[in-house]
Structure 1
Amino acid sequence: MTSTIKDALGWRKKFGVLAPSTNTIVEPDFHAMAVPGVTSHMSRIHIRNQDLSSDEKMVRLLKEMGDEILFAIDRVMTAGVDYLIMAMSAETIWEGFEGNRTFVKRIEDYAGIEVASCASACKAALEAFKINKIAVITPYQPVADERISRFFNDIGVEVVRLKGLRCPTAISIAEVSEDALRKYLQKLDGDDIECIVQMGTNLSAIRLADEAERWLGKPIIAINAATWWYALRYNDIQDRVYGCGRLLREF
């Protein structure tokens, strides 16, 4: 018989969040977007060397995370979570959309529960807005930016422009200021795009995206807002969240 006893705070859902140990943005972002009865519980993927200053070093970091992701799952599952969120965008888009399917299946088979990936969230968000042409901003090196463009091509979305910030370390991603991001968004905008997508869960953008939608007049999809939205809606939680962009407010 299924127990009717519920967690005192997570009485609707308890989300386990898998994020790099260097990430200082996604946890407070998720807390800022919290809705009643849904809690998020961070499990950190150990990053031993945070150097991202070249294509080779970024590829190395992603490869080294393979087993560490499973260790992070082991830890967070002890909290009795109902659902997982993979709060790292590069890992989920690296091998295109089919690669995302493979990644999600690997995590779900290991954990025994379902998982939201940033790649799945991006696809769902763009479909909600019926978007076909975008600009993208990332904190990454060229090797990751090329993979991101390929991923969007896989799902039938054209990347018209892309700005990679070339952040030298994993921690430095969180040090990109709102003023700097605002200028990049303005440069990326144009009549030839319908939306701007921000990748990189350690890049702080949910509040700026909400603001930028008003002065650019188009959707700005911040990856943390999209992933949180996807996790909520996948679990049939329809609460609207304000101050983080149109996606959570309207869909």
Structure 2
Amino acid sequence: MSTMQANTAQKKQRIGMIVPSLNTIGEDDFRQFCPEDVAYHLHRIRLRKEGGVVTRDSLLRAHLEAIEEASYLKDLGADVITFNCTGASVSNGTRGDWSLAERMEKELGVKSSNTMVAIKRALKAVGAKKIVHVCPFADKFSNDERASLEADGFEILQSVGLNFVDARQAALMPPAQLVEHALQYAVPGMDAILLSCANVRAFEAVEELEEKLGVAVVTSNQAVLWDVLRQVGWSGDVPHAGRLFKR
């Protein structure tokens, strides 16, 4: 490597992302959409030990362990660290997402965020107040996400859980199926539709959905990528990533 190449590599901003141990889509989405001049590094957290079944206890356990697990990403010199699990980020109360980001940043001394914090910032960036929310899991989980969004002033016109119980099965849904679900649950007067969960292929569906619905589409991984890029000072458009990246 030449000196110029080495210096360029050293100047790269580094994103650290914690994902659940069963998550495959977050990494795929970052590989596809993260700009080449920004590096990203993943660390996996054991979200559950019982197959792929999502439980409230496992989500809360991951939430409480997130700061300690994030320290591994601090070690490599990450410029920002995000905890990317939508359900876990809201598992400790309606303001637990903001509290976690603040505590992580204070304890680690690194810019920090998480999925729900990123989603809220993204929705505000596209000017969305009236939201349709689609979550792949049961209503008890979608209701937690809804409550967190409402606590920050968003009006949820409709919130739907698709009743998956295994996160790995949710990851197998093709983008076209997510498009169908979104079109099915869209309602008049919405400003945006939110497709939550970091382990579904919603990011790939954004462009098509925005064309068909005429409103902004926000997804967990899209919002997380946008959020951390802004925190490291990167700005610009990402091809096929939706209206959010044009803000």
> TM-score, length-normalised on structure 2?
0.89
2:193 is the counterpart of 1:196:
yes
Contact 2:63/2:92 (<8 A) preserved? no
2:175–2:204 contact (8 Å) kept in structure 1? no
Distance in 2 separating the partners of 1:70 and 1:104: 9
Distance change in 2, residues 1:95/1:74 (3 Å): closer
**Partner Cα distance (1:138, 1:215) in 2:** 20
Match status 1:86 vs 2:83: yes
Name the SS of the counterpart of 2:134 in structure 1: strand
Q: Which residue does 1:74 correspond to in 2? A: 71
2 CA distance for matches of 1:23 and 1:104?
Answer: 21
How is 1:100-119 mapped onto 2 (pairs within 5 angstroms)?
Answer: 100-119=97-116
The equivalent position to 2:176 in structure 1, one of 179, 188, 202, is: 179
Q: Which amino acid aligns with 1:145?
A: S
Identity %: 22
How far did residue 128 of structure 1 move?
1.6
Tell me the equivalent position of 1:30.
30
How far apart in 2 are the matches of 1:41 and 1:8? 18
Q: How many residues align?
A: 243
Give, in whole Å, the separation in 2 of the partners of 1:7 and 1:84: 23
Q: Is the 8 A contact 1:46 1:68 kept in 2?
A: no
**C-alpha contact (below 8 Å) 2:73/2:81 kept by paired residues:** no
Q: Which runs of 5+ in 2 are unaligned?
A: none
Cα deviation code 1:199-223 (max 9, x no counterpart): 1000111121111100111111111
Shift of 1:62: 1.3
Alignment of 1:247 with 2:247, yes or no, is no
Segments of 5+ residues of structure 1 without an aligned counterpart are none
Structure 1 residue 52: Cα displacement: 6.2
| Offset, 1:30 | 1.1
- Say whether the 8 Å CA contact 1:136–1:163 is kept in structure 2: yes
Q: Contact conserved, 1:125 with 1:247, CA < 8 A, in 2?
A: yes
Q: Could you give the per-residue CA deviations for residues 209-238 of structure 1, whole angstroms, max 9, x where no partner exists?
A: 111100111111111111111111122211
* Residue 214 of structure 1: aligned partner: 211
Which residue of the partner structure matches residue 15 of structure 2? 15
- Relative distance call for 1:237 and 1:168 in structure 2 (3 A) is same
SS at match of 2:163: coil
Paired AA for residue 176 in structure 1:
M
Letter of the 2:99 partner, please give it.
T
SS at match of 1:131: coil
Matched, 1:127 2:150: no
Cα deviation digits, residues 143-188 of structure 1 (max 9, x gap): 2111111111111111111221122122222112223212111111
* Residue aligning to 1:44: 44
Deviation at 1:80, TM superposition (A): 1.9
1:3-38 per-residue CA deviation (whole Å, 9 max, x = no partner) reads: xx9775462311111010100000111121122421
Q: Tell me the amino acid that sits aligned with residue 60 of structure 2.
A: K
Q: 1:66 to 1:91 in 2, by over 3 A?
A: closer
* Matches of 2:179 and 2:28, distance apart in 1: 20
Amino acid at match of 1:171: R
For residue 227 of structure 2, the aligned residue among 206, 227, 230 is 230
**TM-score normalized by structure 1?**
0.88
Q: RMSD of aligned C-alpha atoms?
A: 2.2
Name the SS for the 1:35 alignment partner. coil
